[in-house]
Amino acid sequence: MLKAHVQAQSFNLRQLGIETGAGKYRRLAGKVDIFSGYGPRVILGPVRAVISSGDSKSKSGVETTEKLFENNGSLASSSRSEGINVRAVIKIRKKMKEKLTDKIEDQWESLMNGIGRGISIQLVSEDIDPVTKSRKSVETFVRGWLPKLSDSPYVVEYGADLTVPSDFGDPGAILVTNLHDKEFFLMEILVHGFRNGPIFFHSATWIHSRKDNPRCRIIFKNQAYLPSHTPAGIRDLRYEDLTSLHGSKKQERKFHERIYDYDVYNDLGNPDKSKDLVRQVLGTKEWPYPRRCRTGRKPTKTDPYTETRIEKPHPVYVPRDETFEEIKQNTFSAGRLKALFHNLIPLIAATLSSSDIPFTNFSDLDKLYFDGVILKDQEESQEKKTELLSSMMNQVFTVGDKLLKYDVPAIIKRDRFSWLRDTEFGRQALAGVNPVAIELLREVPILSKLDPATYGQPESAITKELIERELRGISVEEAIKDKKLFILDYHDMLLPFIEKINSLPDRKAYASRTVFYYTPDGILNPIVIELSLPPTASSPGNKYVFTHGHDATTHWVWKLAKAHVSSNDAGVHQLVYHWLKTHACVEPYIIATHRQLSSMHPVYKLLHPHMRYTMEINALARQSLINGGGVIEGCFSPGKYAMEISSAAYKSLWRFDMEALPADLLGRGMAVEDPSVAGGIKLVIEDYPYAADGLLVWSAIKEMVESYVEHYYSEPTSITSDIELQAWWDEIKNEGHPDKKNEPWWPNLNTQDDLSGILSTMIWTASGQHAAINFGQYPFGGYPPNRPTLMRKLIPQVGDPEYRKFLKDPEYSFMTSLPTQLQATKVMAVQDTLSTHSPDEEYINELHRIHSLPHSDPEVQNIFEAFRVKLDEIERIIHERNMNVNLKNRCGAGVPPYELLLPSSTPGVTGRGIPNSISI
């Protein structure tokens, strides 16, 4: 960057020897004094530069001028050689929805750019001057009276013309300085005129105003370099660009900044507002957690360890380039609006009042999907709200003519009663929204690892004899040997929190274990459920066992037991498998990638599409979903203890080396090693849709990553000698996941296989894994009886006052145990938002197109093209599987196909599609 730039307010063209009236320039000659901005001052030999005047009198189409500036915004000049005329085309994206003030500002910016007072660019050579051993560069101002509109009405192009000496070499970087008062979005710069053809500088970044930060922005051309291979002329810029992203821990971050740093989760509570909103700081020895992006806000008045909160509609800081682009922002805002109005549904709907009432029968619930709910006549302001809802809520439900009506979730669309059947309960453990918790049952008795002094005898109440009653004459030993018994075990994870949860108003939960039997017919059936409460002096066992039975009473009790298991599953899915293991654990990878890997680094370029929007959606989650008093606490069983459960799960369960899909399946006993099959592992249950489709996607990702790594790291020591790469991996462990930094299971980073495994795990987690456990939330959870997020009553026991009411009206007892109408509608709104693909979503089968921008290497482009072909084949295979009648977990009467791992999707709630990143 130049030491100082010409101040826009005092810029005088005549003082610079430029006659603007006739569009002519007067020639001056001399040397130029250039200051790099970060390094020492460099005195270059004479270099020629020109800027466009719109005059066509010169032979080259532009009038050339040798111009001597001081070191505060100089044009390099030369008499050493005739030079080469080059043109830089700068592409800028405008806002899609502009206020009148924005349009006026745009006109002013166009004027400033037209007269060369808006944007300064400095072209930097990859070579150093052989005489001075210093950087070679040429600077000019973006200039053009009428910016060219591209094919898009929201994109404008400006030109800047320069003359560089014939020995300038290829440009490797462009330094951009924004002299306007506000930021602009720079899409790309294309430089024409060099002998090797146009040189592309992909940017897709916000350029801050110089008044916010005097430093210029460094944009590198679209070529990947390992640190040791960086051309000499831009080597120092590589380091300077990286260090500019580090910042410090001494101040609050500002929204124009691009600072990446770490902090603990200390912004979930709000003790200044209420004692009920005091929450644990996560990221301590007692409550370990991955780190989040630091915002640096002041501590609360009542707790110096808790950061003050920023509430909606004010935004939470994330680095500027991590924020939603306009299309995404508009989509998400509509979703948030839907959630807001869903909170008000009990006040709007005619059947509801200010009290939070339960569903009392299935007809109450069915009205939301089939009949609709007539809204009451309200005051004018309410009618305006209804009109607004009509225009924005067009995906999951419609609002019009005062009728509120939800779309039918996939789970009941083909078969309204499928959710009642045990076969469907088992199918969803393999092909539902949370197919990642089921494990092979390896031994009986089932033992707890909790402290028996606190939690009682470790043996489960599910005995060998009880299981064998359900096995049709097969012994437990034989079923275990043949790998026919499976378990969904939330006992140890939840039992330490059950007493606290049950002390909350209208929350009643158990810690559950569910044993499944995989029948010879290929059906996974739940056969025994154990629901546990903490032991007491009067009830040291406090373990209740249920089987499906055949009489009416047992049948309804079994339904209630399954509902409690589903409630456990919904909470653990949201807090552990979804939020923790994808959203929260990936954020440190993103922070470290920006802090330690240059944007020129091949690993940065590979990971960049898989980091899109994640930090912004995580910040919004901390603001509205996982915060104290937020949607998760209000609508899921754990309530105010939700994030404590997430922290406990991180402590006991999360291991980076087990997040790869094959390792996860082997660890849960759902697959065995088998060198004779593709991929080296064989599924224990062949008809396991998540795993079967997931392994196809995993294999394609790993094959692509291995080819990419081999391309850039062909030398034996190239990985161990890559200082940026080694610093990146060290930082992920020591600063991103510091509570786990001393664990022995962290992979080494020495070989191609090491790097390929690490990168494949990260990409799989951000793409396929997140898609599989996210985009089915409304299709499966949009019908509360199928997947209640909380239960409000324990199962009535003989002798309880509630038992007689249960016998008299079991449907009422069941429905009033589920979430209330307010809780259900809030959750449905959130699940809709989380299940929605934005119109600007980027999917994994589009990587070949996305990587064509930052990569100029044709071999790399071939790698991603081969990946696209592989994904097209995977999509075909998945469609074929969904039509195979022998695969009963994805094909059959009323059975929805398994599409969550289909690579492509259209916008909206589709139940399919793999975005590149965790973007919602």
pLDDT at 343 over 90: no
Residue closest to 736 by CA, chosen among 593, 537, 549, 887: 593
Tens-digit pLDDT profile for residues 55-72: 333 333 333 323 322 322
The total number of residues written for the chain in this structure? 920
Tens-digit pLDDT profile for residues 846-860: 999 998 877 778 999
Strand 373-374 relative to strand 292-293, pairing: unpaired
Reply yes or no on whether the pLDDT at 52 is more than 80.
no
pLDDT over threshold 70, residue 328: no
CB 112 within 8 A of CB 179: yes
Asked if 308 and 272 count as a contact pair (C-beta separation under 8 A), the reply is yes
Candidate ranges 91-100, 542-551, 731-740; pick with highest mean pLDDT? 731-740
Using pLDDT thresholds of 50, 70 and 90, give the confidence band for residue 143.
confident
Q: How far apart are CA 277 and CA 633, in angstroms?
A: 11
Asked if 231 and 215 count as a contact pair (C-beta separation under 8 A), the reply is no
Residue 217, both tokens: 């922005």
* Segment holding 35, helix H or strand E: strand 32-35
d(CA 134, CA 128): 5
Q: Which residues are catalytic?
A: 578, 583, 770, 774, 920
> According to the model, what pLDDT value does residue 36 have?
30
Token pair of 311 as six digits:
């509430």
Lowest mean pLDDT among 99-103, 282-286, 378-382, 495-499: 378-382
Output the pLDDT for position 67: 32
The model's pLDDT over 659-676, given as tens digits with 9 standing for 90+, comes to 999 999 999 999 999 999
How far, in Å, CA of 289 to CA of 301, rounded? 24
Helix axes 821-834, 326-343, angle to 10 degrees: 170
User: At residue 76, does pLDDT exceed 50?
Assistant: no
- Phi, psi (rounded to 5 degrees) for 611: -110, 0
Q: Phi/psi zone of residue 505: left (φ > 0), alpha (ψ -120 to 50 degrees), beta?
A: beta
Confidence check: pLDDT of 161 > 50: yes
Other Cβ atoms less than 10 A from the Cβ of 101: the count is: 8
The amino acid present at 32, given as its one-letter code, is: V
Indicate whether 878 pLDDT > 50: yes
DSSP, residue by residue, 708-724 = HHHHH--STTTTTT-HH
| Reported pTM | 0.87
Query: How far apart are alpha carbons 749 and 755 in whole angstroms?
Result: 6
Q: How far apart are CA 50 and CA 707, in angstroms?
A: 44
Output the six-digit token pair for 84. 């080469």
Question: For the chain, what are the domain ranges?
Answer: 84-246
Q: Is the pLDDT of residue 892 over 50?
A: yes
pLDDT in tens, 610-669: 999 999 999 999 998 999 999 899 999 999 999 999 999 999 999 999 999 999 999 999
Helix (H, G, I), strand (E, B) or coil at 857: coil
Q: What is the number of helices (H) and of strands (E) in the chain?
A: 29, 27
Residue 524 pLDDT exceeds 80:
yes
In angstroms, the CA 506 to CA 754 distance is: 50
Question: Do residues 207 and 113 make contact, with C-beta atoms less than 8 angstroms apart?
Answer: no
Residue 740 confidence (pLDDT) above 50 = yes
End-to-end CA distance of the chain: 37
The helix or strand, by DSSP H or E, that contains position 336, with its residue range, turns out to be helix 326-343
Task: Give, in degrees to the nearest 5, the angle at Cα 879 between 878 and 884.
Answer: 90
Q: Which residues pair with 178 in a beta bridge?
A: 119, 209
Q: What's the pLDDT band for 114 if we cut at 50, 70, 90?
A: low
Under 8 Å between Cβ of 15 and 46 = no
CA-CA-CA-CA torsion sign (363, 365, 371, 373):
positive
pLDDT of residue 859: 95
The mean pLDDT value for 217-246 works out to 96
pLDDT band at 381 (very low <50, low <70, confident <90, very high): very low
Taking residues 133-140, what's their average pLDDT?
92
Q: Is 829 exposed, middle or buried (0-12, 13-18, 19+ CB in 10 A)?
A: buried
Residues 432 and 533: their CA atoms lie apart, in Å, by 27
Task: Report the alpha-carbon distance of residue 773 to residue 437 in Å, rounded.
Answer: 11
Q: Identify the DSSP state of 359.
A: P
Number of neighbouring beta carbons within 10 Å of residue 600: 27
Is pLDDT at 78 greater than 80 in this prediction? no
Question: What are the tokens at 57?
Answer: 């009198």
What distance lies between CA 384 and its chain's CA centroid? 34
Identify the pLDDT of residue 58.
32
- Please list the alpha-helical segments (H only) found in 573-628: 585-596, 602-607, 614-624
Pick the CATH number of 84-246 from 1.10.3720.10, 2.60.60.20, 3.50.50.60, 3.40.50.720: 2.60.60.20
* pLDDT at position 809 over 60: yes
Q: Token pair of 748, please?
A: 């080494």
pLDDT tens digit sequence for 454-470: 999 999 999 999 999 99
Q: What is the mean pLDDT of residues 177-204?
A: 92
- Residue 352's pLDDT is 42
DSSP SS3 for 299: strand
Class of residue 701 by CB neighbours under 10 A (exposed 0-12, middle 13-18, buried 19+): buried
Q: Which amino acid belongs to residue 765? A: T
Judge whether 531 and 511 are in contact, CB under 8 Å: yes
677-689 pLDDT per residue, tens:
888 999 999 999 9
The yes-or-no verdict on residue 233 having pLDDT over 90 is yes
Q: Are 94 and 59 in contact (CB under 8 A)?
A: no
Report which residue type is found at 123: L
Q: What is the DSSP letter of 567?
A: H
For residue 204, the SS3 value is: strand
Cβ burial, residue 150 (10 Å; 0-12/13-18/19+): middle
Residue 536 to residue 639: CA distance in whole angstroms = 23
Q: Of 31-45, 621-635, 742-756, 829-843, which has the strongest mean pLDDT? A: 742-756
Determine the Cα–Cα distance for residues 810 and 558; give it in Å rounded to an integer.
Answer: 12
What does each C-alpha distance from 228 to 447, 450, 600, 713 come to in angstroms? Answer: 54, 51, 12, 12
| Reported confidence tier of residue 144, pLDDT bands at 50, 70, 90 | low
pLDDT at 532 over 80: yes
- Mean pLDDT, range 97-118, rounded to an integer: 65
**Residue 828 confidence (pLDDT):** 84
C-alpha separations of 661 from 500, 665, 764 in Å = 34, 6, 8
CA dist., res. 19 & res. 238, Å (int): 39
Find all residues with CB under 8 Å of 240, minimum gap 6, and list them: 37, 38, 39, 218
How much is the average pLDDT of 433-455?
97
Averaged pLDDT, 707-711: 98
Q: What pLDDT does residue 330 have?
A: 66
Among the residues of 75-157, which ranges form H helices? 100-114
